[in-house]
Amino acid sequence: MTRIRSIRDVVFLPGIIAPAAVRYGPLIARLVDVNPLVKDLEVYSSDVPPPGYSIAMEVGGVDRAADAAGIDRFHLYGHSGGGAVALAYAAAHPERVLSLAVDEPAYDFTEEARADMEEFAPLAVLPIDRRMRAFMQLQVSASVQLPPPPEGPPPPWMANRPAGIDAFIDALDRHERLGDRYRAVRAPVLYTSGSRTHPRWDAMAERLGTLFSDFTAEQFEGLHHLNTSHQAAPDRVSELLAGLWARAELAP
């Protein structure tokens, strides 16, 4: 019988805006017997995106972080941009991934996703303040009205977000298509989304469900990309993850 580990190694990758520590605090506080490795994206490893920035750099960054922590195989969780990196990592290194959980990945590296990204092209010519708000509007359904910007100065980490977003979107488009490579991933996959998020994530769930051999989708009523499940419903997400991890660890 396969031994079930008492402490689970889990790598958490954030989206393209909020840092990992901000993004995952409420969820990690509810997890039991977990060794969390909370890793920020490589695009923010300095004040400006690294020269030649690519998704391959993000995949390599996950490897380096896991190696430095002495972790061989691990559960992987990513939201939005981090969800896209998690998909790319699982396709590149399926042997290291015990389970994969993605919350509204920014991209799934298919031709359909590439067409979806054309919606973001007009944002490049907007002033920075308008660009960020337009970017956020493209994450939610037409029924969601964005709240006004918070009062006071933005947090310091917001300063490099516009350049990081531009570099990340460009890197997504340049990365290889991965649809066929997902079929080699044997780890169970959990896909979460909100009912009031942009419709592209419903279409993505349908696509990925045909590509991964073990795929489960869970939708959270009333939530969306800017009020996402691991922040608004961390208790339910922690239960879903515990079930996913336990099932993965029972696999031969």
Which amino acid belongs to residue 77?
Y
Q: Provide the pLDDT for residue 195.
A: 95
Q: Provide the pLDDT for residue 214.
A: 97
User: Could you give the CA distance from residue 28 to residue 149 in angstroms, rounded to a whole number?
Assistant: 27
Scan for tokens 């010519």, then name that residue.
125
Q: What confidence tens digit (pLDDT) does each residue in 107-119 have?
A: 999 999 988 888 8
User: Could you give the CA distance from residue 183 to residue 228 in angstroms, rounded to a whole number?
Assistant: 28
Asked whether the beta carbons of 137 and 114 are under 8 A apart, the reply is no
Relative orientation angle of helices 161-174 and 55-68, to the nearest 10 degrees: 100
Range of the domain at 173: 8-249
User: Could you give the CA distance from residue 18 to residue 176 in angstroms, rounded to a whole number?
Assistant: 26
Task: Taking residues 220-227, report their average pLDDT.
Answer: 93
- Please tell me the least confidently modeled range out of 2-6, 51-55, 137-141, 242-246: 2-6
Could you give the angle at the alpha carbon of 136 between the alpha carbons of 132 and 141, nearest 5°? 155
- At 35, phi and psi to the nearest 5? -100, 95
- At 207, phi and psi to the nearest 5? -60, -55
Question: Does residue 173 lie within any of the structural domains?
Answer: yes
Residue 228: which CATH number? 3.40.50.1820
**And the tokens for 192?**
């979460």
Is 219 a residue whose pLDDT tops 80? yes
Number of structural domains, the chain?
1
Q: How confident is the model at residue 145 (pLDDT cuts 50, 70, 90)?
A: confident
152 by Cβ neighbours in 10 Å (0-12 / 13-18 / 19+) ranks as exposed
Length of the chain: 252
Q: How confident is the model at residue 137 (pLDDT cuts 50, 70, 90)?
A: confident
As a whole-number percent, the residues of the chain with pLDDT over 90 amount to 72
pTM comes to: 0.93
Question: Does residue 174 lie within any of the structural domains?
Answer: yes
Task: Taking residues 67-94, report their average pLDDT.
Answer: 97
For strand 215-220 and strand 189-194, is the pairing parallel, antiparallel, or unpaired?
parallel
Asked whether the beta carbons of 184 and 210 are under 8 A apart, the reply is no
Asked whether the beta carbons of 243 and 190 are under 8 A apart, the reply is no
Tell me the DSSP string of 54-71.
Answer: -HHHHHHHHHHHHHHTT-
**And the tokens for 33?**
């017997």
Q: Provide the pLDDT for residue 118.
A: 83
Q: Provide the pLDDT for residue 119.
A: 82
Q: Provide the pLDDT for residue 155.
A: 87
Task: Taking residues 181-196, report their average pLDDT.
Answer: 96
User: Could you give the CA distance from residue 215 to residue 1 in angstroms, rounded to a whole number?
Assistant: 24
Question: Does residue 3 lie within any of the structural domains?
Answer: no
Is 2 a residue whose pLDDT tops 80? no
Q: How confident is the model at residue 46 (pLDDT cuts 50, 70, 90)?
A: very high
Question: Does residue 188 lie within any of the structural domains?
Answer: yes
Question: Does residue 201 lie within any of the structural domains?
Answer: yes
Q: Provide the pLDDT for residue 162.
A: 87
Is 227 strand, coil or helix? strand
Q: What's the mean pLDDT when you consider all of the chain?
A: 92
225 by Cβ neighbours in 10 Å (0-12 / 13-18 / 19+) ranks as buried
218: which strand partners? 192
User: Could you give the CA distance from residue 142 to residue 196 in angstroms, rounded to a whole number?
Assistant: 8
Question: Does residue 2 lie within any of the structural domains?
Answer: no
